[in-house]
Structure 1
Amino acid sequence: MPNISVRRDEASAPFFDATATGQLLIKTCPNCHQNAIHRAQQCRGCGTKLTWLPASGDATLITWSATPPARDDPDQPVTIFGYVELTEGPWLETLLVDATLDTLSEGMPMRATFIRQHGDDEHIPAFRPA
């Protein structure tokens, strides 16, 4: 598993509080109800400040790519990253787990899971085949 460093700040605290309990949050516009990824601060449609919204954790795989093991550690597993489209609409760039390159396919149903990285207290969302 790759070591992905994440940083909590005041704006991201609700997101990381939720991931620690197994809940995925996204942002939504209270004015026009467009949904956005967790890093967004204002609505792209109307400019309104976004609020937090629980997401289902269900997604569809859009595309993926793999990072090969380091030359000095050939036994290290391949790391797979991808883009998933959440049922609520936004796309997330994410780590893909519990899958191999030959088992993934475009349009595959995916489900959020939450992992804690080595040396990091924060849980991050990753996606696995549903």
Structure 2
Amino acid sequence: MRKEITVTNADVIANRIDSRPRPEPNEVTAPYFAACARGELLIQRCPDCGHAQHYPRALCTSCGAAPDWERSSGQGTVYTFTVIRQTGVAPFREEVPYVVAMIELAEGPRLMGNVTGVDPEAVRIGMPVEVYMVQVDDEVGVPYWRAR
């Protein structure tokens, strides 16, 4: 029997977030994770060449300049995805099946995350999604995605 994923699974994720591996911010990634904890999604944009990037880095991956932080709209589309149907990893075992997707943001960069609140069989490439945050603690939040 296929397990339905509902919006209430966001609450399940929030309740289990303590049992998952915690992202460990460093001096480059700390502003990103702190913004996520406040409910904001940040990307980096180069002031010299205009390149937008994610995952946070000390330098622009296009020209090597120091990037600035920019608030993302949090809107994107599913670029590609997979449905995880089994796992031996304890914190994730009760959530299968779940969707791990590469999301292409409206601003250009792509980032990996879980799509929740929709049956995994309904997820499609090109599906519009929006971000929501699950707060791990005062310093770290993690982006998740739901259908728009």
Q: Do they superpose with TM above 0.5?
A: yes
Tell me the alpha carbon deviations over residues 108-129 of structure 1, each in whole angstroms, 9 at most, x when there is no partner: 110001013xxx4221011111
Q: Does structure 1 conserve the Cα–Cα contact (< 8 Å) formed by 2:35 and 2:141? A: no
Q: How does 1:25-64 map to 2 (within 5 A)?
A: 25-64=42-81
Of 116, 122, 125 in structure 2, the residue corresponding to residue 103 of structure 1 is 122
Q: Does structure 1 conserve the Cα–Cα contact (< 8 Å) formed by 2:46 and 2:65? A: yes
TM-score, normalised on structure 2? 0.75
Of 95, 101, 113 in structure 2, the residue corresponding to residue 94 of structure 1 is 113
TM-score, normalised on structure 1? 0.85
- Worse-matched range after superposition: 103-112 or 1-10: 1-10
Of 16, 27, 36 in structure 2, the residue corresponding to residue 19 of structure 1 is 36
In structure 2, the gaps of 5 or more residues are 1-12
Question: Which residue of the partner structure matches residue 146 of structure 2?
Answer: 128
Separation (CA, whole Å) in 1 of partners of 2:108 and 2:35: 19
SS at match of 1:64: strand
Structure 1 or 2: more helix by fraction:
2
Separation (CA, whole Å) in 2 of partners of 1:51 and 1:100: 37
Question: Which residue of the partner structure matches residue 115 of structure 1?
Answer: 134
Change beyond 3 A, Cα 1:100–1:19:
same
SS at match of 1:102: helix
Q: Percent identity?
A: 27
C-alpha RMSD of matched pairs (Å): 2.1
SS at match of 2:50: coil
Q: Does structure 2 conserve the Cα–Cα contact (< 8 Å) formed by 1:61 and 1:108? A: yes
